[in-house]
Structure 1
Amino acid sequence: MINKTLWHWGCLCLSLSLTACSSDMQRGKIADKAQKESAALIDKKETQWRQLNEVAPISYLTDLIQDAQLDRLIQQALTANPDLQKTLLTLKASTWQLKSIHGDRLPSLDAGFSRNKTESVEASYNADISISWEADFWGKLANSEAAAAKSLAADQALYQESQDVLVANIIKSWLAMTSKQHLIDIESQRLAVLETNENRLLQRFKNGLNDLEELDEAQTASSQSRADLAQYKEDLAIERRTLQRYLGSENTLNIVPNTDYPRVNLTLDYLPEQSLQRRPDLKAAYLAIQAADLNVSVAYKDMLPTISLSATLSDTASSPSSALFASPIWSLLAQLTQPLYQGGKLKAAVEIAKINTAEAYQDYRSTLLTAINEVETTIGQEKLLTQQLLNIQQALQSSQKNLTRYEQKYRTGLVELSDLIRVQETTFNLAAELDNLLYLHLINRVDLGLALGLGVKES
């Protein structure tokens, strides 16, 4: 009877062992599939993206613009931005979590000392030292630690992504300040011209040469320009406060916007160095698949027997000093524990782990498709904005020449003031539109660099 029982136990352990081995063989297939699919898709897209070629290759977002003031702002933000510091604290917590899980694989040592007193019996003192260790025969604890290590690596990638996004936002906000200042300058010039025209019309109205409607229109245009100018000044102040928030600074920033737009360098000619493989969100999503795969193995191995060893050294005496192992007694215990029935809890844990892995795979696919979309959208905008800039530059040049001719004709009395005002308005509108396109072009290149995975250099 005993032999038959042992035989059943042996068969059970063998079947569970084979199940664990099978799960180890299956584990990693989803991660490998994700890696192969993404590599094939990225290679295909990079062939298309190489058609867009600029100047010199860059490696980091901070290489896009060479400016000492911007570099100082970026360094301050990386040090003091509260959201980034919170993400860093989360990363540190994950590091300690990994160390805690690693401790499960090591022996644990405990010491105890107690006093026991009952009625009519002298007090006795007990001292003991015990050491226990779970033998990781199936590799369950190793898988748990490996899963935690993958999760930590994913958190590190997410922290890198937070740094990249912060730096990109600082660059864009810094460029926006120049854009707002240019709008203020253009609108100030427009307002000066409108006020001059208004004075001309007022004088002509007093001389009986113009109707009151024309004067009202000029006054309306001047008032609208003043309102726009006030809005642009507030927009500049808002952008300055936004940059201040990125920097994590409580003091008002005293930054003077650049007079001209800086050059933003970017190339797609070296895509093996500037590839989606560098994107931290893709790295984090792929590492999440690997961590989920390892957790599936852990869930399977929770069904297997647990082998633990413990040794205890104890002593009992009538005084505290005598109980400190003067005549100790040692004991050794080896324990085999096999879960038999837990109401389907262990099986449910396996299925949940499988679903989590499938979800991680879908998250990776979603992240990959989002990355592809971001790159193709910014490349499309690069081509569109380049063409628009060329057309608006030509239109502005023609309008400026036309304005010069109309000013000459107005002085000689060949055209009416209303015609001159119309050409002036067109010229100012084209100047504002051209400046906005220049700004959008630079912003799009920052977005393109971020989409390609041009991050911040790790310190």
Structure 2
Amino acid sequence: MLKLTFKFPALCTIAMLSGCAALDGTRFAEQSTESLNSISEWQQQIPSASEKTYLTDLIHSEALEVLIQQGLSNNPGLQQTALAIQIARENVANVRGDQLPQASLSVSQNNTEGSDAVYQSSLDVSWTLDWLQKLQDSADASQAGLASSIAADQYARDLLASSIIDIWFQLVQQSQLIDIERTRLRVLEQNEQTIVERYRKGLDELTDLDSARSQSASSRATLVAYLQGHKTLQRSMAALLGKTEYSSPESISFPQVQIPLASVPAQDLGRRPDLQQAYLNIRIADLNSAVAYKNLLPSLSLGLSLSQSNSALRDALFTSPAWSVLNQLTIPLFQGGSLRAQARQADLTAEQTYWAYQEKLLAAVQEVENALGQENALSAQQAHISDALNNAERSFETYQTKYRQGLVTFLDLLTIQTQTFDLRVQKTQLTYARLSNRITLGLALGLGVKS
């Protein structure tokens, strides 16, 4: 008895000293909140940005909104995350059941040769007193797990919507590149005809014909690549929509996309479901750590047993039974250090999830800052390319006329033609990059789709 009296305070002291900070299940969760609130402001700003709530608020396109709704309804990946939420809900109900009294009824029949059958019935009721809030911590952890599943589902929905938007933008870009390349090919084929006509008139030699044909063949190869890329994008869109095939409209253009406002970092990043999920994972780990340390402390359970036996089944069930009450105090004395090892392991896991959150938080900040910087850089690039293209297009017709008059060489004409079409390609690519970056910025700022 003296040994028991010594062991109990000793174990309590060990538990308190080794994990008192973890017993309330909030240690690393509080630190992660402080990390988020420590980000005071964004380094870059965009004056023309506007405050929005959802990704779809940035774009005004009914066709695109229809595609997003189709994807949210039919995408196989989202169906899996929705099922994960249901599984988490069942887990919450399962864990909450541990906090309630447990009751079981058993009825047995015993047959002995030469005597009547004897029926035995037993009703057992037990209840673990949650005086340390250990069961409550487990219930809170399961509830946080449900919230984590919901956040994961929302982030999957946001990613799907942004992917559909991006594929749509790529389809627009690819369609415009195809049109540009077809126009380039027509001009190059006209160059071949012009060279032959000038040769027949005795105005020129055929030395430039091979160069012209080489340029036309190269353009045809590029056009084939663009067409195949367009088909690949259509298949990618079909997969996102949960379909086997998808055909984009023949005539589509880039929609207007507004710039999302980056305001207060803690508010912007706090909307992100992936960061919410990372925070909830810390909360779960904190609570599991608290439970592990509380496992070092005593547990108290109450039990009531009602039993009866009789040769008649009805009397065995309903006559006055014998009853007994069992109050049980369980004190962990020696388990080879496994409980303390489990507590330390849970504590280390909680710290690990905290650093995983820190990594995700830093990456999120970088995503926002990179997207803000890209918007400014792409805007400047687009302006310069537009100026260059305007100048090139003014020279385009002039050089064609001068070549027919013999005032410039075919190489001069080909140079300005190539420059003009290449600038058109660059402008289209920059337009796609800028619009796609605005969606990336919106996603980084926590804009998503309606749940």
Band of TM-score, shorter chain: over 0.9
CA distance in 1, matches of 2:292, 2:302: 22
Confirm or deny that 1:138 pairs with 2:136.
Answer: no
CA distance in 2, matches of 1:73, 1:322: 68
Q: Which residue of 2 aligns with 1:107?
A: 101
**TM-superposed deviation, 1:256:** 0.3
2:86 to 74, 86, 92: 92
TM-score by length of 2: 0.94
More deviation, 282-291/265-274: 265-274
Q: Which residue of 2 aligns with 1:215?
A: 209
AA paired with 1:72? Answer: V
The alignment partner of 1:187 has SS state of: helix
TM-score by length of 1: 0.92
Confirm or deny that 1:409 pairs with 2:406.
Answer: no
Unaligned 5+ runs, structure 2: none
Deviations 1:27-68 (A, max 9, x none): 423222221122112x23x3x23x322243211111121111
More deviation, 312-321/172-181: 312-321
Q: Which residue of 2 aligns with 1:397?
A: 390
AA paired with 1:259? Answer: I
CA distance in 1, matches of 2:267, 2:199: 65
Confirm or deny that 1:61 pairs with 2:59.
Answer: no
CA distance in 1, matches of 2:7, 2:436: 68
AA paired with 1:401? Answer: R
Q: Which residue of 2 aligns with 1:316?
A: 309
Confirm or deny that 1:388 pairs with 2:381.
Answer: yes
Confirm or deny that 1:445 pairs with 2:438.
Answer: yes
1:232-381 matched pairs, under 5 angstroms: 232-250=226-244, 252-256=245-249, 258-268=251-261, 270-271=263-264, 275-381=268-374
Confirm or deny that 1:35 pairs with 2:33.
Answer: yes
Unaligned 5+ runs, structure 1: none
CA contact (8 A) 1:20 1:297 kept: no
AA paired with 2:37? Answer: A
More deviation, 89-98/114-123: 114-123
CA contact (8 A) 1:61 1:456 kept: yes
CA contact (8 A) 2:129 2:300 kept: yes
The alignment partner of 1:264 has SS state of: coil
Q: Which residue of 2 aligns with 1:176?
A: 170
RMSD: 2.2
Cα pair distance change 1:150/1:257, threshold 3 Å:
farther
CA distance in 2, matches of 1:140, 1:148: 13
More deviation, 395-404/208-217: 208-217
CA contact (8 A) 2:208 2:410 kept: no
Cα pair distance change 1:215/1:406, threshold 3 Å:
same
Deviations 1:360-399 (A, max 9, x none): 1110110011101111111121111111101000000011
CA distance in 2, matches of 1:434, 1:273: 36
The alignment partner of 2:388 has SS state of: helix
CA distance in 1, matches of 2:171, 2:431: 13
CA distance in 2, matches of 1:409, 1:454: 54
Q: Which residue of 2 aligns with 1:83?
A: 77
Deviations 1:159-197 (A, max 9, x none): 111111110000000111110100011111111111111
**TM-superposed deviation, 1:356:** 0.3
2:156 to 154, 158, 162: 162
CA distance in 1, matches of 2:9, 2:414: 97
CA contact (8 A) 2:262 2:445 kept: no
The alignment partner of 1:131 has SS state of: strand
CA distance in 2, matches of 1:173, 1:225: 25
Cα pair distance change 1:271/1:139, threshold 3 Å:
closer
CA distance in 2, matches of 1:364, 1:257: 45
The alignment partner of 1:321 has SS state of: helix
Confirm or deny that 1:188 pairs with 2:182.
Answer: yes
Cα pair distance change 1:354/1:258, threshold 3 Å:
farther
CA contact (8 A) 1:205 1:215 kept: no
The alignment partner of 1:403 has SS state of: helix
CA distance in 2, matches of 1:13, 1:356: 23
CA distance in 2, matches of 1:109, 1:192: 85
AA paired with 2:302? Answer: L
Number of matched pairs:
451
CA distance in 1, matches of 2:271, 2:154: 11
Where in structure 1 do 4 or more consecutive aligned residues deviate above 6 Å? none
The alignment partner of 1:275 has SS state of: helix
